[in-house]
Amino acid sequence: MKRLGMIGLLVGSLGLATQAETIQIGTGLDASGNLLSAGSLEQNYGVGGNASDAVVYYLGNPWVANVANGQWISPSDALGNLTDPQYSTTTYTRTIDGTGTLSGEFASDNPGELLVNGVEVASTPGWPTTDDSDYSYWTGFSDISLDQAVNTIEFDVYNSYGPAGLIVAGTATVNTASVPDGGLTAMLLGMGLAGMGVIRRKLS
């Protein structure tokens, strides 16, 4: 019985293999991680506060340049017309399914912060209500824990007046459902049984 229990444990532990999935979390991307065209509505982040939506829009200098995996978005109405949420905070929210980690960088006009599951993990200089901030460099975040089945990623951006925007570039690496190991279990089980047979013969 003990031998059968060991075999069952071997099958159970090696029959499945955990896989990791990389998810692009940048702003201004489509569902496949490709850059949207200028003027397109944001597809991955929901927008709240004094705006109903966000649109791909790059002001130019002094904003940091767009990159291959993220570009600036700005508050807009549902039709994509830019709005000016003065002296208020706009929120950009999305969810990530699965446990793992979050890494990347962001910049905002005016100051902004990043919250993961309701906890602040990064903020730009001047957060929360400084009228002026430096939009010409990034604020990074690395290996932030995603410890829930459904994780909420939220960027809050305060704007005093004039242009407002957010750019995010980065990835979430999450553990996906376990999958069959492609025959590894059968091979190891066979080797284990063969070894047990040799041992039995030597002890006989």
The C-alpha angle 106, 110, 116, rounded to 5 degrees, equals 45
Q: Write down the number of H helices and E strands in the chain.
A: 2, 13
pTM of the model: 0.79
Given a cut of 80, is residue 86 above it in pLDDT?
yes
Please state the φ and ψ torsions of residue 130, each to the nearest 5 degrees. -70, 135
What CA–CA distance (Å, rounded) separates 145 from 195?
42
Sorting pLDDT into bands at 50, 70 and 90, what band is 87?
confident
pLDDT at residue 177, as a whole number: 66
Mean per-residue pLDDT over the chain, rounded: 84
Q: What residues does each domain of the chain span?
A: 17-177
What CA–CA distance (Å, rounded) separates 177 from 19?
7
The yes or no reply on domain 17-177 and CATH 3.40.50 is no
What CA–CA distance (Å, rounded) separates 45 from 28?
9
Closest CA to 24 of 172, 202, 184, 183: 172
Residue partners of 204: CB distance under 8 A and separation at least 6: none
Is residue 138 a contact partner of residue 90, using CB atoms and an 8 Å limit? no
Sorting pLDDT into bands at 50, 70 and 90, what band is 127?
confident
pLDDT in tens, 55-81: 999 999 999 999 999 999 999 998 889
